[in-house]
Amino acid sequence: MKLRWDSPDRVDSHDGRYHRDRSADPYHTSRWTRISKTWRMSHPLCAECRRKGIIKPADVVDHIIPWPVCQDFYDTSNLQSLCEDCNHEKGQRDKSIIAAWRRKHNEQ
Q: What number is the average pLDDT over the span 34-59?
A: 97
Residue 106 pLDDT: 81
CA–CA dist 56, 74 (Å, integer):
25
Q: pTM of the full predicted structure?
A: 0.76
| Greater model confidence, 12 or 58 | 58
Residue 14 pLDDT: 63
pLDDT band at 67 (very low <50, low <70, confident <90, very high): confident
Residue 40 pLDDT: 96
Q: Confirm if 99 and 68 have CB atoms less than 8 A apart.
A: no
- Residue 74's closest CA among 22, 21, 23, 29? 29
Beta bridge partners of 45: 57
Note the pLDDT tens digit of each residue in 24-40: 888 899 999 999 999 99
CA pseudo-torsion sign 29, 32, 38, 40: negative
